[in-house]
Amino acid sequence: MPKASHIWHPFTQMKDWSTDASAATDARLGIERGQGVHLIDTKGRRYIDGVSSLWVNVHGHRHPVIDAGITKQLKKIGHSTLLGLSHQPAEELARRLVAIAPKGLGKVFYSDNGSTAVEIAIKMAYQYWQNTGRPSKRLLVHLNNSYHGDTLGSVSIGGIELFHKVYRGLIFKTHGLKRTGWDVVEEFEQLLKKRHREVAALIVEPLVQGAAGMLVWPAGVLKALRRLCTRYKVFLIADEVATGFGRTGTMFACQQEQVSPDFLCVAKSLTGGYLPLAATLTTKKVYNGFLFDYKDQKTFFHGHTYTGNPLACAAALANLTIFKKERTLARLAPKIKFLAKQLEKFRQLPRVLEVRQCGFMVGIELNGKWEDRVGAKVCQALRGRGVILRPLGNTIVILPPLVISRSELDQLLAAVYQELQA
């Protein structure tokens, strides 16, 4: 890597990279190649990709089916627009997404990242009520500690003070629920009793709130929230950007409680972790709420230039093909059990405050003030043990590619355990 970099890295205090010697090695670690669950740096050192390259990789790097899918599409066309035109990979992918999604989601609107998938859902929900004669329904409701992305609309429904407070002056007004666990159901019901005529939608990260540190919900809360949304005619938006594509053990987290949301947002693992692509799925009812004469000006006026890029769609199609061919979810189930068992002994470590797991999403919260950056220090040290992780504050995140073998998983956990013991 060149000495002076011109890159300003995301979610990174760049001052540390110029002054802190240990953090400065971050800047020098360049990943050159990948193979299976391994990342290989410019010096040829191998690391287990313990957070799936920021929660995206599913079947490993350089998977031959995805590589071939992209290459084959590349020989036809690299990009063509969905504004006024269509193409086969986007058509086929929409069909297959509808087939695997919770019941009732029949329409697919593409974009290219998780934040936009969420923005599209909230704009559609908001506009639907305007379009169909209930303009008082404008309020968006979100949970405590919610994270839905970094663009301003997504920040508006974000509840993580550290990330979001500096932008409070730029964003629109929402209603943030304060309570957690089962208590949030009652709080939401009280709100709806009084103000349902104002509420457009509730947005949630179903089952596990990832960026908040892998906070896992009690079973049944999602279903209870769905019931309230239905009773009070409020849309339920499920942000499955992190949980989608098997991370919790089922294809989508909503399916664990037989919940069909009105909007389903997917991104991160949609392409198996290869290319940026996102989709917002919704119902025919919502879709029909936008069918008017052109002169009525009720069109959904929204679209991103690279929406539904054919190469990304080809990667996503290959991703879904592998899920079927390799029986990814069936093979995942025993690995989730194995992981749960192995995590038990972490709870006994004096440095560990709490261990949280939902499927293949794990957060190990450590003791310490966040300013001490204990999570970052542990992850930095783990590089010496051949593991790449990225923490969330004091929480060590373990979120490996679903394809990881039992012995690789063992190796990953042993490295983390030894480091936490040290």
Site string for ligand PLP, 124-153 (x = CB under 6 A): -----------------------xxx----
Q: Work out which of 53, 73, 111, 115 binds ligand PLP, going by CB under 6 A.
A: 115
| Least distance CB 96 / ligand PLP (angstroms) | 21
Region from 21-29, 111-119, 223-231, 359-367 binding ligand PLP, contact rule CB under 6 A = 111-119
Q: Is 213 in the site for ligand PLP (CB under 6 A)?
A: no
Token pair recorded at residue 239: 């942000």
Q: Is 211 in the site for ligand PLP (CB under 6 A)?
A: yes
Region from 83-91, 93-101, 132-140, 235-243 binding ligand PLP, contact rule CB under 6 A = 235-243
Dihedral of CA 176/145/104/125: which sign?
Answer: positive
Residue numbers 64-93 binding ligand PLP by CB under 6 A? none
Q: Is 242 in the site for ligand PLP (CB under 6 A)?
A: yes
Q: Work out which of 113, 250, 260, 271 binds ligand PLP, going by CB under 6 A.
A: 113
Phi-psi region of 174 (alpha: psi -120 to 50; beta: other; left: phi over 0): beta
Query: How many beta carbons lie within 10 A of that of residue 46, not counting itself?
Result: 14
Do the Cβ atoms of 368 and 407 come closer than 8 Å? no
Residue 48 phi/psi, 5° resolution? Answer: -75, 130
Token pair recorded at residue 299: 């069109």
Q: Which residues pair with 392 in a beta bridge?
A: 395
Q: Determine the Cα–Cα distance for residues 405 and 332; give it in Å rounded to an integer.
A: 10
Q: Determine the Cα–Cα distance for residues 342 and 400; give it in Å rounded to an integer.
A: 15
Give 147 or 346: the residue with its C-beta nearer to ligand PLP.
147
Residue 400 phi/psi, 5° resolution? Answer: -75, 165
| Least distance CB 160 / ligand PLP (angstroms) | 11
Do the Cβ atoms of 69 and 318 come closer than 8 Å? yes
Token pair recorded at residue 94: 């929409």
Site string for ligand PLP, 303-342 (x = CB under 6 A): ----------------------------------------
Q: Is 210 in the site for ligand PLP (CB under 6 A)?
A: yes
Q: Determine the Cα–Cα distance for residues 67 and 314; give it in Å rounded to an integer.
A: 10
Q: Is 118 in the site for ligand PLP (CB under 6 A)?
A: yes
Q: Is 246 in the site for ligand PLP (CB under 6 A)?
A: no
Angle between helices 88-100 and 310-325 (to 10 degrees): 40
Give 163 or 338: the residue with its C-beta nearer to ligand PLP.
163
Q: Which residues bind ligand PLP (CB under 6 A)?
A: 113-115, 118, 147-149, 205, 210-211, 239, 241-242, 267-268
